[in-house]
Amino acid sequence: MTFPALPATIEAALATRGYAEATPVQAEVLRAGAAGRDLVVSAQTGSGKTVAFGLAMAPQLLDDDGKIGFAPAPLALVVTPTRELALQVSRELSWLYERTGARVATCVGGMNPSAERKVLGSGPAIVVGTPGRLRDHFERGALDLSALAVAVLDEADEMLDMGFREELEAILDATPETRRTLLFSATMPRPIEALARRYQTDALRIATIGEGGRGHGDIAYQAVTVSPPEVENAVVNLLRFHEAETAILFCATREKVRHLHATLQERGFAVVALSGEHSQSERNQALQALRDGRARVCVATDVAARGIDLPTLSLVVHVEIPRDVETLQHRSGRTGRAGRKGIAVLIVPFSARRRVEAMLHRAQIAAAWQEVPGREAIAHKDRERLLGKLLAPTEFDAADRELARQLLEERSPEDIAAMLVHAHRARLPEPEEIAANSREAQKERHRPGFEDTVWFRMDLGRREGADPRWLLPLICRRGHITRNEIGAIRIGQAETYFQVPRAIADKYAAAAARTAEGEEDAVPIERSDAGPREAARTNRQRRPSRSAADNAFVKAKAPARKFAKASGAAARPVPAGPGPKPGKPAHKHKRKFKHS
């Protein structure tokens, strides 16, 4: 959709930046029904919402000639949750209003407050800032809100999540009741709706999230399934496979950010971290490292990544599953912006696949389910990238060619090319070995020679303290085989199962029977037609159900047990009773057996 009629100064700014068509959110805020009204807008990050509210507030700021000029007091106020987002919004509004004569002031934490107060006194028409710093300037008398015509809350949901409700209310209470209020939020929880009811009048609701079947048409969604212990290996291989110029890895907690950051640093990746435990100075250094290419990977929490705008970001990895659809879209929206293509990958433990599938369905996202790239796939990609880099047109100076001639005198062209390839590969972190990711492969992983096995069982389990460290020697000694001839071992509550290759199963069974004859307390070992899973299923089916009386007894005792646990009564010494119940032994003796 093309832009509707706009002031000449604004049209010229858009044309200079190459804006030919309005995005959905820009078109919605400019339609006739939205003119002059308070707005509540659900818009995804990266959808052009900054330009959208910049265009929406223009009628309240510009005169008939499309100018603003000197403003004794600010006419528009934009409040954002983070310093990075405030600076980004300030840059966008500066070029959009460049030809109007408007000045844009930015007030954020980490900057010199005295310098900001001086700028506020020079007549800016638009002020952009974070809640805490804006409130500080207002309470000190440096920020005059008496003439405010438009107030914009950008990413309002995040500001409330970060605990800025009091600051927002203090700022909005100081503005004229005639002001226009534009509330932009990726999600619309109840606190946002309450804020809208209190500070807006007859607000128009606009929702553009999910148009076109998903949050961003320029994002390719992928999902890879892994076993939980291999999540970090999957991260390593995904980074190596894509070799993105800039990538963000999203984690749920700052502890996970810290751990993954240290792991990737140890593996040789140029990586930085962003979480709530980092100071503003550390955040600035990390973002600058990403922008100038000294770092290519950022490990971050959801909150810490708000407001980050990295033009080279092309890969988002959800290391931990997002808590809801909005978080999924907001994380992924860091990439695929302004017409650029991006990739969003979800790392999904096997047990969480159904939950992720349901989340993707609700978000109307068609994700490609894939396996984690293995060593061969990564090596193939490396070869393609290296050939493209080495065969690209390059200009050489005289010194380069002189050095090349000296090398050719000492080595063959093939040796020189091989050394160049080796030097390139030496800088790359080594990929990880990933086990087969299909569900069948996850159920059973066979070593060579264990494709055809027989299960054996023994009446010994966790209840008797069974442990692989001494079970394995016992199994080997009883059957006269080595540990290399033992396959999988499954220890249950009351029994243990283990695999022996079918080729030696008869020999093992006979040896186990002979060795049992000479020992008084030897644990019986016998073949099992059913493996551990089938046996567990059979035991569950055989387990008797409780009677109505049993259920009533358990229900009656449950509150007492709950109270005892909460009060710590279970940890107190229990007075001696009259003794065991009739017909029951005073002590339960454990079964005796030999460990070796």
Q: What is the 3-state secondary structure (H, E, C) of 255-273?
A: HHHHHHHHHHHHHCCCEEE
Give the homologous superfamily in CATH for domain 8-209. Answer: P-loop containing nucleotide triphosphate hydrolases (3.40.50.300)
Structural contact between residues 202 and 325, judged by C-beta atoms closer than 8 angstroms: no
**Residue 334's pLDDT band (boundaries 50, 70, 90)?**
confident
Task: Give the mean pLDDT of 358-368.
Answer: 89
216-377 shares its CATH topology with 446-541: no
Give the integer Cα–Cα distance in Å for 361 and 223.
13
For 470-524, the pLDDT digits (tens) are: 888 889 988 888 888 888 888 888 889 999 998 899 999 999 988 888 676 778 8
Which pLDDT does position 493 carry in this prediction?
84
Residue 566 has pLDDT above 60, yes or no: no
Residue 555 has pLDDT above 60, yes or no: no
Give the integer Cα–Cα distance in Å for 200 and 179.
9
Which pLDDT does position 209 carry in this prediction?
59
Which pLDDT does position 444 carry in this prediction?
46
Pick the residue with more confidence: 48 or 265?
Answer: 265
SS3 of residue 78 by DSSP: strand
SS3 of residue 318 by DSSP: strand
573 contact partners, CB below 8 Å, separation of at least 6 = none
Mean predicted lDDT score pLDDT of the chain? 82
Structural contact between residues 292 and 262, judged by C-beta atoms closer than 8 angstroms: no
Give the integer Cα–Cα distance in Å for 588 and 539.
23
Task: Give the mean pLDDT of 36-56.
Answer: 85
Task: Give the mean pLDDT of 111-138.
Answer: 93
Give the integer Cα–Cα distance in Å for 398 and 253.
54
Residue 153 has pLDDT above 90, yes or no: yes
Taking CA atoms, 475 is separated from 219, 431, 445, 465, 480, in Å, by: 54, 37, 21, 16, 8
| CATH label, 216-377, candidates 3.40.120.10, 3.40.50.1580, 3.40.50.300, 3.40.190.10 | 3.40.50.300
Please name which of 324, 338, 336, 327 lies closest in space to residue 300, comparing C-alpha atoms.
327
Tokens of 55: 């265009």
Pick the residue with more confidence: 381 or 548?
Answer: 381
Q: Could you state, in order of their start, the residue ranges of all structural domains in the chain?
A: 8-209, 216-377, 446-541
Overall residue count recorded for the chain in this entry: 596
Pick the residue with more confidence: 194 or 533?
Answer: 194
**Residue 436's pLDDT band (boundaries 50, 70, 90)?**
low
Q: At CA 239, angle to CA 351 and CA 375, rounded to 5?
A: 80
Task: Give the mean pLDDT of 260-289.
Answer: 88
Q: At CA 355, angle to CA 358 and CA 276, rounded to 5?
A: 110
Taking CA atoms, 257 is separated from 300, 353, 377, in Å, by: 6, 23, 27
Phi, psi dihedrals of residue 224, rounded to the nearest 5°: -120, 135
Give the integer Cα–Cα distance in Å for 489 and 178.
75
Pick the residue with more confidence: 401 or 539?
Answer: 401
Please name which of 372, 393, 395, 373 lies closest in space to residue 382, comparing C-alpha atoms.
373
Exposure class string for 456-482: b at 16+ Cβ within 10 A, else e: bbbebbeebebeeeebeebbbebbebe
| CATH label, 446-541, candidates 3.40.50.300, 3.30.1340.30, 3.30.750.24, 3.30.70.330 | 3.30.70.330
Which pLDDT does position 44 carry in this prediction?
66
For 309-323, the pLDDT digits (tens) are: 787 889 999 999 998
Which pLDDT does position 94 carry in this prediction?
94
Residue 172 has pLDDT above 80, yes or no: yes
Task: Give the mean pLDDT of 184-198.
Answer: 84
Sheet bearing 342-349, strands edge to edge: 271-274, 297-301, 246-251, 313-318, 342-349, 219-226, 368-370
Percent of the chain with pLDDT over 90: 36
Residue 572 has pLDDT above 50, yes or no: no
Q: Judge if pTM exceeds 0.85.
A: no
Which pLDDT does position 554 carry in this prediction?
43
Residue 269 has pLDDT above 90, yes or no: yes
Task: Give the mean pLDDT of 228-246.
Answer: 92
Structural contact between residues 324 and 359, judged by C-beta atoms closer than 8 angstroms: yes
**Residue 231's pLDDT band (boundaries 50, 70, 90)?**
very high
